[in-house]
Structure 1
């Protein structure tokens, strides 16, 4: 517990000094004189597990401060001290500040110490569960994406591109759980695992499908929904995947379901991102791409479409390839894990093994080595080496 800090926020310097004396040797204490100073402490320290704030402070009261802390450091456990213990203050603190404990001045030191210990334990529970969930989800998602990359590199490349766009959208729109949207973007085509090998081969080569094959492809979100629903904590992601082709006017797949703003926000975002990925070849959507898909306005939430267009659209000809790194041309034998493909990796028979814009993973590199034994590749290929890959 000693590695985590407890931050006390109060405009009374004498009280802060007294708290330091009372709690010395028992907890790692930080103090700040007022909300503005305390916010700076959060910029300097990433180990603040518990924050104790006074209600009555100038410029920014305790409730306003704790609301800000909930946004910038949601895992920090929040406790309030107040000399004005009226019911309205307590109700607001609980409902708006989402506090863990509420203390009135004067307080018993022993009671405060117990609350601080409970707060530290609560923080441990929150962070331990979060770590476990992240590691479990990361492993499950990696397994599914590796399978998808093996089945159809082109489709996988599009989903990776969508993931990058959705990360930008989630940040700018303050999407409540951005990781869910990112995973949904990665896994939205996972239903293709249920398609017969001959259909997968036709998809990989860009060949037209027969009506029955098109219907099977159309229903892949249903398969994806069933697969993802088996992973704990991904229920919302599964719903987004199921409704990714549901149009804003209520048409599309599935045939029955929500329409308009009753469609989950994530699914409405995927509807736009998927169509953009289908019409555009570059790493970023152009204004022309938006014009093309905008010809079917019944598909999209008009307000959301306008916001995403403002966020993502680049004027054709002004695009820049974002990552830094050393650009080079290499033979297939010299490809390394972590290389960023600048051109498609394809065999002499025009089979695309991996599309440009993808980082080569350990699994993909092993797959390339297997392909080398039976196929000749077009080489050399252009890569960027030493690019810092963003964590998903």
Structure 2
């Protein structure tokens, strides 16, 4: 059985609250709080209120500040104000800061107060009903899209899930206003791939090279993604983030026309980084060298944002060279000559298409040992290209 919506009256005058209890008993379900601190304590303690009616002048905290706090603690609560000070400045301040539904002057006739409270209760009903409907629609639509993506290509879906994890980790530190929006954009970023032929999709999942015409087709998939996502309620911003995910910071990239620099949506600038970061690491583990690799293309990313993300995500991994991106020489070598500290410029791939290590990684001792085992069982494409040497590089 659904709980009856309750109203909270807040005032520092105990006699006034007692009078309200006598006059309004049986009209609707309500509670009282003697002052703003008690009201906040009730809400923090788990009490749910459809409507909060607060006095303006109270000693510990005025009504504007109280209702502003109520709006943060209980966003669905409809707020109303009672005050003896009817000046315009107070009314404007109350409405702007406390999200006030109605504003009453004291003394307020019982009938006027009843009409106002009942209107607020109806407003709360509308808010919660719409929210429930949208949340159900949203959840169902996202479930369908993610299931389509996971069935379409598990490898691509896995990378999207990894990008979502990264987004969840960095959202707070970069001051992202709606973290759920950012994570969802990462998850749905590759949904435009549903328009691709199966052979292109397969090569994408395995990170195999594409022909120029095929790359152009893939490059335009954000348009398809935007079209799909924008049909879902409340996902207009997510659709735009996904559409701009390959827009470079200098204004190049896809789409060919549009904003540049910080005018590009923040979420799109994050995805621009994570799309490329996902290509140079095989796991959620991110180290400093991965960001050093991204910095080789400074026009592509928001470098200030890149720095913030690195501070949150990058960890120290002793199996990697801890120095800056190496400025050594490049060599084409056979696998038997591979050394710890070499920086891969090409994938290490078996002749039957299995990628053992992706380019953009430093070679660790553990990886060399693993590679030696695989060499006994498989044939690899050789030679491979590495960067060797530079400041502090091992070898």
Q: What do residues 229-258 of structure 1 show as CA deviations (whole Å, max 9, x unaligned)? A: 233332211111110111222121111100
Q: Find the counterpart in structure 2 of residue 100 from structure 1.
A: 101
TM-fit CA distance, 1:188: 0.6
Whole-angstrom CA distance in 2 between matches of 1:276 and 1:315? 16
TM-fit CA distance, 1:132: 0.7
TM-fit CA distance, 1:299: 2.6
Query: Cα–Cα, structure 1 residues 49 and 310, in superposed 2: closer, same or farther, change >3 Å?
Result: farther
Q: Find the counterpart in structure 1 of residue 183 from structure 2.
A: 182
TM-fit CA distance, 1:2: 5.4
Q: What RMSD in Å do the two structures reach over aligned CA positions?
A: 2.4
Whole-angstrom CA distance in 2 between matches of 1:72 and 1:297? 42
Q: Find the counterpart in structure 1 of residue 262 from structure 2.
A: 261
Q: Find the counterpart in structure 2 of residue 243 from structure 1.
A: 244
Residue 62 of structure 1 pairs with residue 85 of structure 2: no
Whole-angstrom CA distance in 2 between matches of 1:173 and 1:32? 38
More moved, 307-316 vs 199-208: 307-316
Q: Find the counterpart in structure 2 of residue 80 from structure 1.
A: 81
> Does the Cα contact within 8 Å between 1:287 and 1:314 map onto a contact in 2?
yes
Highest CA radius of gyration, 1 or 2?
2
Q: Find the counterpart in structure 1 of residue 386 from structure 2.
A: none
Residue 42 of structure 1 pairs with residue 55 of structure 2: no
> Does the Cα contact within 8 Å between 1:241 and 1:267 map onto a contact in 2?
yes
Residue 277 of structure 1 pairs with residue 278 of structure 2: yes
Residue 197 of structure 1 pairs with residue 208 of structure 2: no
Q: Provide the secondary structure at the position in 2 that maps to 1:8.
A: strand
Q: 5 Å matches for 1:204-353? A: 204-316=205-317
Whole-angstrom CA distance in 2 between matches of 1:13 and 1:162? 55
TM-fit CA distance, 1:172: 4.8
Q: What do residues 350-378 of structure 1 show as CA deviations (whole Å, max 9, x unaligned)? A: 889xxxxxxxxxxxxxxxxxxxxxxxxxx
Q: Provide the secondary structure at the position in 1 that maps to 2:92.
A: helix
Q: Find the counterpart in structure 2 of residue 5 from structure 1.
A: 6
> Does the Cα contact within 8 Å between 2:44 and 2:73 map onto a contact in 1?
no
Whole-angstrom CA distance in 1 between matches of 2:284 and 2:94? 46
Query: Cα–Cα, structure 1 residues 315 and 115, in superposed 2: closer, same or farther, change >3 Å?
Result: farther
Query: Cα–Cα, structure 1 residues 108 and 2, in superposed 2: closer, same or farther, change >3 Å?
Result: farther
Q: Find the counterpart in structure 2 of residue 160 from structure 1.
A: 161
How many residue pairs were aligned?
322
More moved, 105-114 vs 56-65: 56-65
> Does the Cα contact within 8 Å between 2:185 and 2:238 map onto a contact in 1?
yes
Higher RCO, 1 or 2 (CA under 8 Å, sep at least 6)?
1
TM-fit CA distance, 1:82: 1.0
> Does the Cα contact within 8 Å between 1:5 and 1:27 map onto a contact in 2?
yes
Residue 123 of structure 1 pairs with residue 128 of structure 2: no
Q: Provide the secondary structure at the position in 2 that maps to 1:190.
A: helix
Q: Find the counterpart in structure 2 of residue 71 from structure 1.
A: 72
> Does the Cα contact within 8 Å between 1:2 and 1:28 map onto a contact in 2?
no
Q: Provide the secondary structure at the position in 2 that maps to 1:292.
A: helix
Whole-angstrom CA distance in 2 between matches of 1:174 and 1:60? 28
Q: Find the counterpart in structure 2 of residue 338 from structure 1.
A: none
Whole-angstrom CA distance in 2 between matches of 1:284 and 1:78? 46
Q: Find the counterpart in structure 1 of residue 383 from structure 2.
A: none
TM-fit CA distance, 1:316: 3.0
Query: Cα–Cα, structure 1 residues 215 and 94, in superposed 2: closer, same or farther, change >3 Å?
Result: same
Q: Provide the secondary structure at the position in 2 that maps to 1:32.
A: strand
More moved, 66-75 vs 171-180: 171-180
Q: Find the counterpart in structure 2 of residue 114 from structure 1.
A: 115
TM-fit CA distance, 1:284: 4.7
> Does the Cα contact within 8 Å between 2:82 and 2:105 map onto a contact in 1?
yes
Q: Find the counterpart in structure 2 of residue 137 from structure 1.
A: 138
Whole-angstrom CA distance in 1 between matches of 2:31 and 2:354? 61
TM-fit CA distance, 1:272: 2.5
Unaligned segments of structure 2, at least 5 residues: 320-351, 356-395
Q: What do residues 11-31 of structure 1 show as CA deviations (whole Å, max 9, x unaligned)? A: 222222222222223322222
Q: Provide the secondary structure at the position in 2 that maps to 1:189.
A: helix
Q: What do residues 272-297 of structure 1 show as CA deviations (whole Å, max 9, x unaligned)? A: 33233332323353343333323333
Q: What do residues 41-66 of structure 1 show as CA deviations (whole Å, max 9, x unaligned)? A: 22112521111121112232111222
